[in-house]
Each structure stands twice: as C-alpha cells, then as structure tokens.
C-alpha cells in the first residue's frame, strides 16, 4: 500500500522514529556486507541472480530480501538474503513474513470477480447501490465497481475510507473513467463490498476463497501484532524531519495493525510463488479455478494508461498490465511503513517472481524481480543468460555540469554548486569552513543532501530558463539552469531574466510551518511559500477557499489538504488526504 500523503514519507519515503528503537548503521561496514547471509547457489541461474542481489542490497541499503521464483508448473526457487533482524544477526528465512503492500489489491480484485461470477454483483453498477452508507460524494457521476478496480473513480487517495471527522466525505475530483488516479481508499471500499456480499469478514473470505485453494498456508490476511514474532523486522528512516538519502541511517519501525484490503496481506516467498503460479495459469490452480478464464481476461485487460508504474503500463483489475521484451506481463509493487515489494508475472514466457525487502526507502525491488524473470525465461528457452542490469549510484549525475555555478538570493546569500565528473556538490556561501555536501539525484532537476543535518530539511530543486520551442524537425536544446530553491529560499544565477517579485497572499502566514503526525504513515511535513505559491514539501497547493487546498497542479486532482483549528492567526491542524497532522514548533 503506497503511502501517498504529503509528507516526507510520500515524496522521499522517510518515516517517524520512535524512542528506544534499535539502529542500523547505514551503510553496513564492509565486513558486515561481506558476511551478508546468502543462499547456496546450485546452478548458473542461481549464481547469476545471487551475484546480482549481493551487489544490489548494499547499493540500495536493503537489510534483507526474500524471493520466490516460479514457472507455470512449479516453484523454481525460494531464497532469503541478508537479515530479518539486524541486531540479532538473524538471516532471512523462507518462513519469515513480509508485508506485500499493494500487491494485496490483486487479491481484492479476484474476490470481487468471484462474487461477480456468483451473480452477487454487477461490475458496472454504482457501488452506492450495494453500500449506500459509504461516506463518498459522487458529484461528477456514479462510481462503479469497475471504476474502483481500475483507479478511475475520481476519489482522493485517502489512506482510509472513514476519518476521525464523522462529517467528512471522500469527494470526487473528476468524472469516473476520465483519469487514472491511484486510490487506496477505493480498494478499501472493495474489501468492504466483498465482506458485505460474502457475509464474512475480509480476513476470512480472502483466506477461504484464495489462500486455502492455493495452499498458501503461511500467508496472513491482516497485519496484527499477534503475528509479530513471525515477521522480519522492518526498517525505516531514522530522522523524520529530514529528506532521506539512499545510504541514510535506518531504525527498526513500530508495528502496525491493518485490515484494509488495499494492503493488509503478509506472506512468505513460497506462498507468493504459489500465487504467481495461479496468475501464470490465468486463474487456474491444481485444486480448481480461482476465477474463470473470462474473469481473468477482465483482470488482465489494460483498461487505462498507468504511467506511474512505467511509461508503457496500463492498469487492469487490481494489477498493472505491461510489456517486457515483447511479452505481456502483470506487475505491481507494494510499499508499507517498513516493507517494499514487487511482483512480475510474464504471461507469455510462463515465469514469475516475487521479492520483498524489509525496509522502506522510497524504492521497490522491481529490478530484482525483472532480472529474475529474464533469467528464468532464458534458461527455459535454452538461451544465454542475460547480464545483470546496472545498479546506478544515486550520486551519479550524467549532466552534473548543468547545475554548476553560484546562485544568489534577494538578500545576498549564495549557494555554490560544483561538478566533478558525475558528482554534484553544494557549498553554503556563508560558511566556507565546511566541506561541500554531495548531492543525490531524485529525478529531473531535483536533488537531496547526503549529509545528515546539512541542507537536509528540504529538497534542492533547480529551474531552467524558458526558451522558444525549437523549429520543427530540429533537436530540442537543453535549457540552461538559472534558478534553484531550497524550501522557501530562492536563488538565481546571472542568466535569470524572469520575474523577481511575487505577490504572496498575506493569509499564507496562517498555514506556514512544520506539522507532525503520530501515525506510522505520517511523519513530518513542512508548509512554506515560494514565488507567491504555497507548497507542502515541494508539492504546490492551489487554494479552493475556506482553508482548503488542492494538492498538485492538475485541476482534476481530488487530493486535498485542509487546515483547521485557526488559533491566534495560525492553523494548528492540517488534514492531508484524510490524515491529520498537528503544528509543532521544535526549532
């Protein structure tokens, strides 16, 4: 279940640290990485995969990894890498539970399709016909089960259907079917619908309808502390008020309890191999079909483009539909407070892989599952095994020289960026005694500090000079970098020729400041003005009136932030996509 709230967890995947947690020094010492527990390789495929994972884990700062690899006929490999418990040096084993996150959505989709086959629901009927008490406002049009299954309902991506405010409603931002907008709340509604029509709680129905027929005896349908001793320890970023770099310090995460169908399943690699094998067989299993062929066809239909999975992805029912090397694949990822997962199912090649790591650091082990699928497919086709993919260093920036130079603020402060090869460093012009801070690339013109406490409160975002569109048929020239922002601070280079004065509404002072959520999904978020607009940790906020703001620049985006409890000219509370944050002043 991806956390998609406007906080550092959302944008850079940090999270709250708690008192008394154990710490994982990051990166491990070279000796610890050298002694990382690894499975025994029994062949060329295993050797290639293990060699790749042995390099991947330290590069990505992953404490442990679990993996299940299967063909359409049988499990090919179940393996554990690294540590399930860093402090105790307990290796990841085949029985350790890992939270699979949003891969749970495909289970919810299968349960809904079963109920559809049983004549208990119409996929194109409004969900309010079945659950009239849902707290949703569908002013743009009725929301059908199909819309919920494909993330096209228009509802916001709230982490819960029901909030603390009994009067609150999930309000649409666009007409159903018009856009793909990832929505955890939509799949929570599907879980409630399945339970209503089945007559049993979600945890019972998913176990009876899917786990038991597939022999998934180790899988848990909900996340509860009662099973804590079966889990690998999950790890998260140690500091919740800083942006988290790849090799940042980690801490063991607090436990959570979750029964929402959008992301509440925990499983083992052996069980997930059984699940992937059913998908490879298009709904069939040794004990009978989980869904019919027509229902599986509905699930695996690319209903709408879903570029956030990949440039070529679409979304089916509870799972993304994509291509890999010309093959049709099903894929999904899952992000939890302290776990990150990936599944690749190559329908044409007849191979699949599931992997999960016991940490949340802003990425999913997609590179592992994709490479494993390619290896197994090549082995089955008696072709040369593919070389491992590159593991990029987040500090490497091919165009580092674009950003080199000195940038000056309106009050005369300066930031100087220097490029040495592919590395970009930052030096505060007011403190030449400190060593430059090496930056990490976060995509586009966005960077973060790799030094705890120095330029770590905000992202560093560069802006390029506006230029006329190139003539038809000519190459698009790279626009020069002429400005940079660090939170509310704005600096320009000598080549900047745009506006310098901006009208910032006076009432924005009501909202600016730091807010904290005690939820494991929350952490800290900062609200600040920049160039006349209000931002929440780098995401622009558009005023809608009455202390309510739309998140992002899309006019149809249903995600909103609402400030409340205005006291002595300051908002004391902030509700972001249903999650409450409260103002803190801790320096």
Q: What is the pLDDT of residues 380-424, one digit of tens each?
A: 999 999 999 999 999 999 999 999 999 999 999 999 999 999 999
DSSP H helical segments within 43-180, as ranges?
Answer: 44-60, 104-117, 145-149
Q: Are 147 and 549 in contact (CB under 8 A)?
A: no
Proportion of the chain above pLDDT 70, given as a percent: 92
**pLDDT score for 232:** 97
Check residues 282 and 467 and name the one with the higher pLDDT.
Answer: 282
Q: Which CA distances in Å does 566 have to 290, 547, 548, 576, 579?
A: 53, 10, 13, 16, 18
Q: What pLDDT score was predicted for residue 33?
A: 66
Average pLDDT over residues 109-131: 98
pLDDT of residue 584: 96
Q: How far apart are CA 398 and CA 400, in angstroms?
A: 6
**Structure confidence at residue 26 (pLDDT):** 47
* pLDDT tens profile 61-116: 999 999 999 999 999 999 999 999 999 999 999 999 999 999 999 999 999 999 99
Contacts of 320-325 with CB under 8 Å at 24 or more apart are 324/370, 324/373, 324/374, 325/374, 325/377
CA dihedral sign of residues 144, 148, 154, 155: positive
Handedness of CA 136, 139, 144, 148 (dihedral sign): negative
Bond prior to 110 in cis (omega within 30° of 0): no
Q: Say whether pLDDT at 27 is over 70.
A: no
Determine the pLDDT at residue 361: 87
Place of tokens 């003539």: 471
For 255-304, the pLDDT digits (tens) are: 999 999 999 999 999 999 999 999 999 999 999 999 999 999 999 999 99
Q: What is the pLDDT of residues 328-385, one digit of tens each?
A: 999 999 999 999 999 999 999 999 999 999 999 889 999 999 999 999 999 999 999 9
* Average pLDDT score over the chain: 91
Q: What is the DSSP string of 419-458?
A: EETTEEEEEETT-TTSPPEEEEE-STTEEEESSTTSS-SS
Cβ atoms within 10 Å, residue 261: 33
Residue 12, phi-psi category: left (phi > 0), alpha (psi -120 to 50), beta (remainder): alpha
Q: What domains does the chain contain, in order, with CATH numbers?
A: 8-104+202-380 (3.40.710.10), 106-198 (no CATH), 400-467+474-492 (2.40.128), 506-584 (2.40.128.50)
Cβ-based neighbours of 16, under 8 Å, separated by 6 or more: 236, 240, 254, 517, 518, 520, 522, 523, 524
- CB-based contact 99:266 (threshold 8 Å): yes
Which residue's structure tokens are 């029964």?
A: 259
pLDDT of 29: 55
């Amino acid at each position: 279940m991806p956390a998609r709230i406007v906080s550092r967890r959302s944008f850079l995947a940090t999270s709250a640290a708690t008192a008394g947690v154990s710490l994982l020094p990051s990166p491990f010492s070279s000796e610890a990485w050298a002694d990382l527990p690894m499975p025994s390789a029994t062949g060329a495929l295993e050797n290639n995969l293990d060699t790749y994972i042995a390099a991947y884990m330290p590069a990505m700062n992953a404490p442990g990894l679990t993996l299940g690899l299967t063909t359409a006929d049988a499990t090919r490999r179940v393996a554990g890498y690294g540590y399930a418990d860093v402090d105790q040096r307990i290796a990841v084993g085949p029985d350790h539970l890992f939270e699979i996150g949003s891969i749970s959505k495909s289970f919810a989709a299968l349960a809904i399709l079963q109920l559809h086959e049983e004549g208990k629901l119409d996929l194109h009927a409004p969900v309010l016909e079945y659950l009239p008490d849902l707290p949703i406002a569908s002013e743009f049009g009725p929301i059908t089960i199909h819309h919920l299954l494909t993330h096209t309902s228009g509802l916001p991506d709230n982490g819960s259907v029901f909030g603390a405010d009994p009067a609150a409603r999930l309000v649409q931002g666009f007409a159903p079917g018009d856009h793909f907008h990832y929505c955890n709340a939509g799949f929570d509604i599907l879980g409630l619908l399945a339970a209503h029509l089945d007559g049993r709680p979600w945890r019972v129905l998913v176990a009876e309808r899917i786990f038991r027929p597939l022999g998934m005896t180790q899988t848990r349908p909900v996340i509860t502390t009662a099973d804590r001793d079966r889990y690998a320890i999950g790890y998260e970023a140690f500091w919740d008020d800083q942006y988290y770099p790849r090799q940042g310090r980690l801490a063991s995460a607090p436990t959570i309890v979750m029964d929402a169908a959008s992301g509440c399943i925990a499983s083992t690699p052996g069980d997930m191999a059984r699940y992937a094998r059913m998908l490879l067989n298009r709904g069939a299993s040794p004990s009978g079909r989980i869904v019919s062929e027509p229902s599986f066809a509905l699930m695996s239909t690319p209903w709408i483009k879903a570029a956030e999975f990949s440039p070529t992805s679409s979304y089916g029912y509870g799972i993304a539909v994509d291509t890999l090397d010309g093959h049709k694949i099903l894929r999904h990822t899952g992000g939890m407070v302290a776990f990150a997962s990936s599944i690749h199912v190559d329908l044409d090649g007849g191979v699949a892989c599931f992997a999960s790591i016991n940490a949340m650091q802003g990425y999913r082990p997609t590179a592992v599952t994709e490479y494993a699928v390619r290896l197994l497919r090549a082995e089955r086709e008696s072709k040369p095994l593919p070389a491992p993919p590159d593991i990029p260093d987040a500090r490497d920036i091919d165009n580092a020289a674009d950003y080199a130079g000195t940038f000056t603020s309106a009050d005369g402060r300066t930031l100087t960026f220097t490029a040495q090869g592919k590395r970009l460093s930052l030096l505060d012009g007011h403190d030449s005694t400190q060593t430059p801070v090496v930056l990490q690339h976060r995509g586009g013109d966005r960077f973060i500090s790799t030094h705890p406490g120095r330029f770590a409160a905000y992202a560093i975002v560069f802006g390029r000079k506006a230029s006329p569109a190139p003539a038809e048929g000519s190459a698009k020239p790279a626009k020069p970098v002429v400005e940079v922002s660090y939170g509310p601070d704005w600096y320009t280079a000598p080549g900047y020729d745009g506006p310098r004065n901006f009208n910032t509404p006076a009432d924005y002072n009501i909202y600016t400041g730091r807010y904290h959520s005690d939820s494991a999904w929350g952490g800290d978020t900062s609200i600040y003005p920049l160039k006349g607009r209000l931002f929440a940790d780098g995401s622009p906020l558009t005023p809608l009136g009455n202390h309510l703001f739309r998140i992002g620049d899309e006019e149809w985006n249903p995600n909103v932030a609402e400030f409340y409890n205005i006291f002595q000219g300051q908002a004391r509370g902030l509700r972001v996509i249903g999650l409450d944050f409260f103002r803190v002043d801790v320096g």
